[in-house]
Amino acid sequence: MKSASKNITLIAIVFLLFPQLLWAMGLRSFVALPIEEGGHVIRLIAEQNKRPSNTYLSANYAYGISAKQTLLLSLPYRLSPSGSERTGNISALYRHIIWQNDSPNSTTRIGLLGGAVLATKKERDSSIQAGIVSSFYQQRYEFDADILYRQGLGNNKNTGRYDFSWQYRLSPAHYPEWGSTSEWDGVIELNGRYLEGNSTTHQITTGLQWIHKQWVLEGGIFHDLNNKHNTGLLLSTRLHF
Amino acid sequence: MKSLLSTIIVLFSLLFISSTAFSKGADGAPSDIYEMNVNGMTCPFCVYGIEKKLNKLAHVKKARVSLKQKKVQIEMEHGQIFNEDEVRKVITDSGFTPGKLL
């Protein structure tokens, strides 16, 4: 009973300290690619972990303030295990592209990230966060890399993350002359998650994305390379309007 | 004779003015259709924004993107002037880099 209670507390802490901001064209990484000025993207993610066993949803929203400026919001909600702490904290990130180099067949971009994790309950504390993201795209593949650090305020622990994501267009081999067709991308990522007082958990993620002009359907599996050797499943959809 | 010559000159002038008022496109391209190179385009989901914004421009009949050819094509309503600066701004506001008008 005591260990179950301890697990639930730990889940709550992790859940509260890791509001997932999973905005990317990678599965779990950030991305430095643009949303057009005035554009909106909504992303819904369902994630299930085996150890510790928990399932949660997150609602993510991105808004194009301008071609170089994007606002990213995320709110997680835990489905299981049961308990009073279900709604996580709201993560708000501002992304500013500071360098961009476009050519006919490629693009390279670097962006800065900054914002806060805002407590949604009085008894919780907030955090501030800052990081950097870069994206490189050429022909059929894309690399994204990011690092983000969250400084906990009050009783909140410090957390951090890094992601390296590689996506490759499996199909089609060639785009049509005009318009766009749907495409299938394979994804492989190396992710790291740090929580103060614990060693960094390194993970590998593999997945598939079915990409259309206005929507994406995607899924993946991630596995801890160290620590708890947890395995998790992720399903997500995005809508661009 | 003089009036016939004057009429011919006027007719030719009108023909010249009407042809230069429209297309600056490639040789043989239909009038009212313009194409411009765009750099930095990636996947369909990412470039949807360009197409959306171009199709909202006044007097644009249809706009489409080619990820293969790395360009956009804008078909203007017949007789409407193509505003190159406006199109360049749309591409930039979408997060990409406009290239040459073809």
pLDDT digit string (tens) for A180-230?
Answer: 789 999 999 999 999 999 999 999 999 999 999 999 999 999 999 998 889
pLDDT at A102: 95
Query: Which residues of chain B neighbour A36 with C-beta distances below 8 Å?
Result: 49-50, 52-53, 93-95
Q: Between residues A188 and B22, which one has the greater pLDDT?
A: A188
On whether any CB of chain B is under 8 Å from the CB of A140, the answer is no
Give me the residue from A25, A37, A39 closest to B43, CB to CB.
Answer: A25
pLDDT at residue B5 greater than cutoff 80 = no
Q: How far is A195 from chain B (nearest CA, A)?
A: 33
What distance in Å separates the CA atoms of residue B80 and residue A28, rounded to the nearest whole number?
46
pLDDT at A11: 35
pLDDT at B13: 57
Check B50 against A182: CB less than 8 A apart.
no
Q: For A147, how many CA atoms within 13 A lie in the half-sphere containing its CB? A: 0
pLDDT at residue A16 greater than cutoff 80 = no
Check A66 against B99: CB less than 8 A apart.
no
- CATH 2.40.160.40 is held by the domain A2-240: yes
From B75, B71, B77, B76, select the one nearest B91 (Cα to Cα): B71
- Give the residue extent of every domain in chain B: 23-101
DSSP string, A51-89: TTTEEEEEEEEEEESSSSEEEEEEEEEEEES-SS--B-P
How confident is the model over B42-83, as pLDDT tens digits? 888 878 899 999 999 999 999 999 999 999 999 999 888 899
CB-based contact A161:A24 (threshold 8 Å)? no
What distance in Å separates the CA atoms of residue B47 and residue B73, rounded to the nearest whole number?
13
% chain A with pLDDT above 70: 88
Check A211 against B70: CB less than 8 A apart.
no
pTM over 0.90: no
Query: What CATH code would you report for B23-101?
Result: 3.30.70.100
Check B44 against A211: CB less than 8 A apart.
yes
Q: How far is B98 from chain A (nearest CA, A)?
A: 10
Q: Between residues A51 and A231, which one has the greater pLDDT?
A: A231
How confident is the model over A60-119, as pLDDT tens digits? 999 999 999 999 999 999 888 766 678 899 999 999 999 999 999 899 999 999 999 999
Tell me: ipTM over 0.85: no
Q: Between residues A83 and A120, which one has the greater pLDDT?
A: A120
Q: Which residue of B has its CA nearest to A143?
A: B42
CB-based contact B87:B50 (threshold 8 Å)? no
On whether any CB of chain B is under 8 Å from the CB of A138, the answer is no
CB-based contact A94:A73 (threshold 8 Å)? no
Q: Which residue of A has its CA nearest to B45?
A: A213
pLDDT at B30: 52
How confident is the model over A130-178, as pLDDT tens digits? 999 999 999 899 999 999 999 999 999 999 999 999 999 999 999 999 8
The chain B residues in contact with chain A (CB within 8 A) are: 37, 39-53, 64-70, 73, 92-97, 99
DSSP string, B26-44: STTPPTTEEEEEEES---H
pLDDT at residue B9 greater than cutoff 80 = no
- What is the average per-residue pLDDT within A119-137? 94
Q: Which residue of A has its CA nearest to B50?
A: A36
pLDDT at residue A22 greater than cutoff 50 = no
pLDDT at residue A234 greater than cutoff 50 = yes
When the pLDDT of each residue in chain A is averaged and rounded to a whole number, the result is 88
Q: Is the dihedral of CA A106, A161, A115, A64 positive or negative?
A: positive
- Give the residue extent of every domain in chain A: 2-240
Q: How far is A185 from chain B (nearest CA, A)?
A: 10
Give me the residue from A36, A104, A211 closest to B94, CB to CB.
Answer: A36
